[in-house]
C-alpha cells in the first residue's frame, strides 16, 4: 500500500529536521517536498507543534520496534546492537538521530514536543537499565544515562566534524566502560 499524504509529510519533516533542525523546518518547505499546498500540510497537522509531536511519536515507536528485536542474551552483543541503532541514524552531512536534534533544540521547542523527546530518552534509558540490571552491571542507572548521553553527544560532535570515527570512538568508550573489553 502506498504511503498516505500524512506519512509523506512526516517522512519529509523527519528528513528536514534530522538534517537542519526543527526550527529550520517550515510547512512551506514540506509542502514543496511532497507536492502539495502549505494549507494541505496544515490540514494534517494544524500547527508546527502538532507536527513535531507526531514526528517524535513515530520516531520513538519505530525505535522501540528495533529495540524489541535486539537479542539480549549476551550483554556485549546487546550493547553492540544498541549502538548500531544509533550508528544507522548518523549519516554524515545529512542526518543524525531525530531526538538528538530535538534535544539540542530543547530550549526553543514547544513544551509538547519536548515532552515527547523526553519520552524517547526515558525509553532508551529504561531499556538499557533493565538490560544492565539483568546482567549484574554495577550502577546500572548511572551507566544507562552515560551510554545514552555518549551516543547522542557522539552524533552531535561527529556531525559538524564530518568524522564518523569520533562517534565510533565515543561509542566504543561508552561500551567499554560497561563491559571492560
SS3 90: coil
Nearest of 151, 146, 145, 135 to residue 75 by alpha carbon: 135
Could you state, in chain order, the average pLDDT of each consecutive group of 10 residues for the chain (181 residues)? Answer: 95 93 95 95 96 97 97 96 93 83 92 96 97 96 96 92 93 88 46
What is the per-residue pLDDT for 55? 97
Number of domains in the chain: 1
What is the per-residue pLDDT for 181? 46
Flag whether 126 is in a domain.
yes
Question: End-to-end CA distance of the chain, in Å?
Answer: 46
- CA–CA distances in Å: residue 111 to residues 27, 118, 151, 153, 174: 19, 10, 24, 22, 30
Flag whether 31 is in a domain.
no
**Residue 158: which CATH number?**
1.10.357.10
What is the per-residue pLDDT for 91? 82
CA angle at 120 for the pair 118 and 124, rounded to the nearest 5°: 115
Flag whether 41 is in a domain.
no
Domain that holds residue 63: 52-179
Amino acid at each position: 500500500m502506498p504511503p498516505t499524504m500524512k506519512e509523506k509529510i512526516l517522512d519529509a519533516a523527519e528528513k528536514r529536521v534530522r538534517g537542519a533542525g526543527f526550527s529550520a523546518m517550515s510547512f512551506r518547505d514540506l509542502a514543496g517536498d511532497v507536492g502539495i499546498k502549505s494549507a494541505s500540510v496544515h490540514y494534517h497537522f494544524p500547527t508546527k507543534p502538532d507536527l513535531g509531536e507526531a514526528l517524535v511519536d513515530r520516531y520513538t515507536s519505530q525505535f522501540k520496534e528495533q529495540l524489541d528485536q535486539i537479542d539480549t542474551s549476551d550483554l556485549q552483543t546487546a550493547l553492540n546492537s544498541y549502538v548500531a541503532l544509533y550508528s544507522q541514524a548518523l549519516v554524515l552531512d545529512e542526518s543524525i538521530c531525530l531526538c538528538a536534534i530535538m534535544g539540542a533544540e530543547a530550549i526553543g521547542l514547544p513544551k509538547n514536543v519536548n515532552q515527547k523527546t523526553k519520552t524517547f530518552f526515558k525509553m532508551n534509558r529504561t531499556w538499557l537499565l533493565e538490560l544492565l540490571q539483568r546482567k549484574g552491571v554495577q550502577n546500572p542507572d548511572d551507566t544507562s544515562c552515560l551510554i545514552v548521553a555518549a551516543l547522542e553527544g557522539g552524533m552531535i560532535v561527529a556531525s559538524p566534524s564530518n568524522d564518523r570515527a569520533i562517534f565510533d570512538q565515543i561509542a566504543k568508550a561508552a561500551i567499554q566502560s560497561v563491559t571492560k573489553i
